[in-house]
């Protein structure tokens, strides 16, 4: 905090400037808009001075690797280790995606990330009638452990971290991963990676669900507790704002709703008797990097500070690792345009830059072609090179939190923090995140923001280059597009059939019954039996069906 | 002809991307149309049954799961079987270029891609319905 005398001198200088330079200049040349705001609607000034952060003690900004972690979770950040370059991939069968993984590793990627197809996300086998046309389309198809083996064939699971984007069926995929690693003789203590597992944001944003909210939370808890005890380097949950933002929420809402979900998860696990410091160090986050550059940098900084305060003050965490927020980041897919697709490379680069300046631990950069279909090999290569250029050519990684101390970025960080705590208060008053989902409050807020954005885009207030400004006549993409392999589905179905014939079906049935019995007793952890099941080559769909009989199914009341 | 255009907005396939479908549903409602929204993860059978029951003029199908080349023809086939093939099918979603003429040749009346301004979507639906002989 500045001493009042210095502050008064700065204020006087600013007033004098407003009277002289500013007034003269704007008299000759008025500004193009009277009021500016961030993408979330926070008003911004034309220039910021020390006055704007005069009330912020340096402790709030602090130093990296120390509470409240505004400047980063680690003292040396990218000087010690660069962020993990983690391009997500998934299509066809395990073998198909395995080839893409190997290509990406060859190109210098440092972590793997798996996208599963829709049936896998929804807990359906490839031969389920509802899976028709979806098998291996928007991700890799996984039915049994045999598919998981193929997916990671020749990949050293002890040396590379693997992230899996899977939620309602996360505990099964995680069981398969653990079982494959065990079969290969890997040390569980060396397994590093992440499984998304964030079921709450599914109900409000990504919308892949199976069971009702409360039994789904129990599965989250079982996975968290199991991993906290046995996989010390593994992140069993990735509390995600990405999808909330992509579904239409502003960045402030993204952060607030994600923190509300985090609170609900921590409350649930601690209520089950697990001390907060036993699992909090393994909680990880996932945010989008949107197009408002400085708002995003400030959002990432505010996220760390808010989380640190919540964990310390609300949950009484005492370990520093319980309070430091680590996050994966992905550039904003919904900002990519079908028109002039090469422009998407530039959008993605700028978004990636905000993630790096905001201190992300890992990053996925989107392909230029994602307004057409899932990305081609070439699009992924350019996206990965974008990260490598930031890492190796710009010298940005040499300094931790280089925007720290910017009057604007610090003021915006403060404003985002205040706005988020206001929303959290409101959600608390509604009875917490789960209640706010059950009543549709969060879903409505997101739909409302999405609608507002479309209206602003239509009016031209929100400019999208190539779409509502600098528009070209309609043309074909002119870039290489990924083509789905029409044979992949048949190959997948064939393997599933083979497994069902070859395995010990009596054992699978016995274990499925055992799982259903354990499901009734919420004090039982369902992970050990699930691991036995996947080892016995039970399919994802079979395991899910046995629990649907106990838990029921989620039914949404759609709001628009 | 009915006074107000009736539209069923439907999500087929297993994907959860409902941002566009909901914005379109609200836009059409604001433009004075009767809008029914099916919610997510509907099968072609469920969509067609709702379309017939609600006696709609247009079914707007949103699909971002990549399964459109399987699901769109299925919806059109089922509409025919239900003798409701005077209902216009409009497709929205993320599609590769070459799938667009392919869907149209299957009987999809219009394809509305991302970044289409809401007002344009309203116009597309109005034009389709006014092109039809009164029933």
Bridge partners for A223 per DSSP: none
The residue-averaged pLDDT of A521-550 equals 97
Per-residue pLDDT of A115-171, as tens digits, reads 999 999 999 999 999 999 999 999 999 999 999 999 999 999 999 999 999 999 999
The residue-averaged pLDDT of A341-368 equals 98
| The pLDDT of residue A148 | 98
Per-residue pLDDT of A40-96, as tens digits, reads 999 999 999 999 999 999 999 999 999 999 999 999 999 999 999 999 999 999 999
CA distance A456 to B114: 15
pLDDT band at A479 (very low <50, low <70, confident <90, very high): confident
Are A138 and B65 a contacting pair at CB < 8 A? yes
Nearest chain A residue to B120 by CA distance is A458
pLDDT at residue A495 tops 80: yes
Per-residue pLDDT of B89-115, as tens digits, reads 999 999 999 999 999 999 999 999 988
pTM score, two decimals? 0.96
Which of A484, A558, A559 is the best mutation test for B, with the most CBs of B within 10 A?
A558
pLDDT at residue A560 tops 90: no
Bridge partners for B58 per DSSP: B7, B88
pLDDT at residue A513 tops 90: yes
Å from A323 to nearest chain B CA? 32
| The pLDDT of residue B134 | 65
Are B14 and A455 a contacting pair at CB < 8 A? no
Higher per-residue confidence, A184 vs B2: A184
The residue-averaged pLDDT of A268-272 equals 93
| The pLDDT of residue A480 | 85
Are A134 and B39 a contacting pair at CB < 8 A? no
Chain B touched by A468 (CB under 8 Å): yes
Exposed / middle / buried, residue A512 (Cβ in 10 Å: 0-12, 13-18, 19+): buried
Chain B residues with CB-CB distance to A134 below 8 A: 13-14, 65-67, 70
| The pLDDT of residue A161 | 93
Closest by CA to A31, choosing from A10, A17, A45, is: A45
Q: Give the residue numbers spanning the domain of B109.
A: 6-131
| The pLDDT of residue A477 | 66
CA B3 from centroid of its chain's CA atoms: 20
Are A454 and B23 a contacting pair at CB < 8 A? yes
**For the domain that residue B42 is a member of, what is the CATH number?**
3.40.50.280
Chain B touched by A436 (CB under 8 Å): no
Are B19 and A247 a contacting pair at CB < 8 A? yes
CA distance A421 to A36: 23
Q: Is B27 part of a structural domain of the chain? A: yes
- Which parts of chain B register pLDDT below 70? 1-2, 133-135
Please count the structural domains in chain B: 1
CA distance B65 to B12: 9
pLDDT band at A201 (very low <50, low <70, confident <90, very high): very high
- What DSSP string runs through A150-186? HHTTT--TTTSEEEEE--TTHHHHHHHHHHHHHHTT-
The residue-averaged pLDDT of A406-419 equals 98
| The pLDDT of residue B112 | 95
Domain positions in chain A are 58-459
Q: Is B1 part of a structural domain of the chain? A: no
The residue-averaged pLDDT of A522-541 equals 97
Chain B touched by A48 (CB under 8 Å): no
The residue-averaged pLDDT of A261-289 equals 96
The answer to whether the beta carbons of residues A342 and A335 sit under 8 Å apart is no
Q: What is the average pLDDT score of chain A?
A: 96
- What DSSP string runs through A45-111? -S---GGGGTT--HHHH--TTSTT-TT-SSSSGGGTSPPEE--EE--SSHHHHHHHHHHHHHTT--E
| The pLDDT of residue A130 | 95
Phi and psi for A116 in degrees, rounded to 5?
Answer: -100, 155
| The pLDDT of residue A1 | 65
A398: number of CA atoms within 13 Å, CB side? 5
pLDDT at residue A16 tops 80: yes
CA distance A514 to A520: 10
Show the tokens assigned to A237: 């949950």
Closest by CA to A281, choosing from A227, A309, A319, is: A319
As its CATH architecture, domain A58-459 has Alpha-Beta Barrel (3.20)
pLDDT band at A460 (very low <50, low <70, confident <90, very high): very high
Per-residue pLDDT of A239-252, as tens digits, reads 999 999 999 999 99
Q: Is B14 part of a structural domain of the chain? A: yes
The residue-averaged pLDDT of A196-202 equals 97
Phi and psi for A285 in degrees, rounded to 5?
Answer: -125, 170
Are A132 and B70 a contacting pair at CB < 8 A? yes
Cis check for the bond before A68: say yes or no (omega within 30 of 0). Answer: yes
Å from B83 to nearest chain A CA? 24
Q: Scanning the structure block, which residue is given the tokens 């208060």?
A: A425
Question: Helix A441-459 vs helix A251-271: angle between axes, to the nearest 10 degrees?
Answer: 170
Are A481 and B19 a contacting pair at CB < 8 A? no
Chain B touched by A465 (CB under 8 Å): no
pLDDT at residue A3 tops 90: no
Exposed / middle / buried, residue A170 (Cβ in 10 Å: 0-12, 13-18, 19+): buried
Q: Is B127 part of a structural domain of the chain? A: yes
The residue-averaged pLDDT of A417-422 equals 98
Percent of chain A with pLDDT over 70: 100
């Amino acid at each position: 905090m500045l001493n009042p005398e210095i502050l008064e001198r700065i204020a006087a200088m600013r007033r004098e400037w407003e009277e002289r330079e500013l007034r003269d200049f704007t008299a000759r040349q008025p500004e193009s808009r009277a009021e500016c705001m961030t993408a979330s609607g926070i008003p911004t000034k034309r220039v910021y001075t020390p006055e704007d952060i005069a009330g912020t003690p340096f402790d709030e900004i602090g130093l990296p690797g120390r509470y409240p972690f505004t400047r980063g979770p680690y003292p040396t950040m990218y000087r010690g280790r660069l962020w993990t370059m983690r391009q997500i991939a998934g299509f066809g069968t395990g073998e198909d995606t395995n080839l893409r993984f190997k290509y990406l590793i060859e190109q210098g990627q440092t972590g793997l990330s798996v996208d599963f197809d829709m049936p896998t996300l929804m807990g359906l086998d490839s031969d389920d009638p509802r899976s028709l046309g979806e098998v291996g389309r928007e991700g890799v198809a996984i039915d049994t452990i045999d598919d998981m083996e193929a997916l990671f064939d020749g990949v050293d699971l002890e040396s590379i971290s693997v992230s899996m984007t899977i939620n309602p069926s996360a505990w099964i995929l995680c069981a398969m991963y653990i079982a494959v690693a065990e079969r290969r003789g890997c040390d569980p203590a060396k397994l590093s990676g992440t499984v998304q597992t964030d079921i709450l944001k599914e109900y409000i944003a990504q919308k892949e669900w199976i069971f009702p909210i409360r039994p789904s939370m129990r599965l989250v808890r079982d996975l968290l507790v199991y991993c906290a005890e046995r996989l010390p380097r593994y992140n069993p949950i990735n509390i995600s704002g990405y999808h909330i933002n992509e579904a239409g929420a502003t960045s402030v809402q993204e952060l607030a709703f994600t923190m509300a979900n985090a609170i609900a998860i921590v409350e649930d696990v601690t209520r089950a008797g697990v001390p907060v410091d036993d699992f909090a160090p393994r909680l990880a986050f996932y945010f989008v990097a949107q197009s408002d550059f400085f708002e995003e940098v400030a959002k990432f900084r505010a996220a760390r500070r808010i989380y640190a305060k919540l964990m310390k003050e609300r949950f009484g965490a005492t370990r520093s690792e319980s309070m430091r927020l680590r996050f994966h980041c992905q550039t904003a897919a919904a900002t990519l345009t079908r028109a002039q697709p090469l422009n998407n490379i530039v959008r993605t680069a700028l978004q990636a830059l905000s993630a790096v300046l905001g201190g992300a631990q890992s990053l996925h950069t989107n392909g230029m072609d994602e307004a057409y279909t899932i990305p081609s090999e070439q699009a992924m290569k350019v996206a990965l090179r974008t990260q490598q250029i930031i890492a190796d050519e710009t010298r940005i990684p040499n300094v931790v939190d280089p925007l720290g101390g910017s009057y604007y970025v610090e003021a915006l960080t403060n404003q985002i923090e205040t706005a988020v705590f206001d929303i959290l208060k409101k959600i608390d008053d509604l009875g917490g995140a789960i209640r706010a989902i059950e009543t549709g409050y969060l879903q409505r807020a997101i739909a409302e923001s999405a609608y507002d954005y479309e209206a602003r885009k239509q009016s031209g207030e929100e400019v999208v280059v190539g779409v509502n400004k600098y528009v070209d006549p309609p043309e074909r993409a002119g870039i290489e597009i990924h083509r789905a392999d029409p044979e992949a589905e048949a190959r997948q179905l064939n393997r599933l059939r083979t497994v069902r014939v070859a395995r010990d079906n009596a054992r699978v049935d016995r274990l499925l019954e055992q799982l259903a019995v354990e499901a009734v007793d919420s004090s039982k952890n369902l992970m050990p039996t699930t691991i036995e099941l996947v080892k016995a080559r039970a399919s994802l769909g079979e395991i899910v069906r046995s629990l649907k009989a106990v838990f029921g199914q989620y039914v949404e009341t759609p709001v628009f | 002809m009915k006074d107000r255009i009736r539209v069923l907005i439907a999500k087929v396939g297993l994907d959860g991307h409902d941002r566009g479908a909901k914005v379109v549903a609200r836009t059409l409602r604001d433009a004075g149309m009767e809008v029914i929204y099916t919610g997510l993860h509907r099968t072609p059978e469920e969509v067609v049954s709702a379309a017939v029951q609600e006696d709609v003029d247009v079914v707007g199908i949103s699909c971002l799961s990549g399964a459109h080349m399987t699901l769109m023809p299925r919806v059109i086939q089922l509409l025919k079987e239900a003798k409701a093939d005077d209902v216009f099918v409009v497709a929205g979603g993320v599609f590769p270029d070459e799938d667009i003429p392919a869907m149209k040749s299957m009987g999809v009346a219009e394809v509305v891609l991302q970044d289409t301004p809401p007002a344009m979507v309203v116009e597309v639906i109005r034009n389709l319905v006014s092109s039809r002989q009164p029933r």
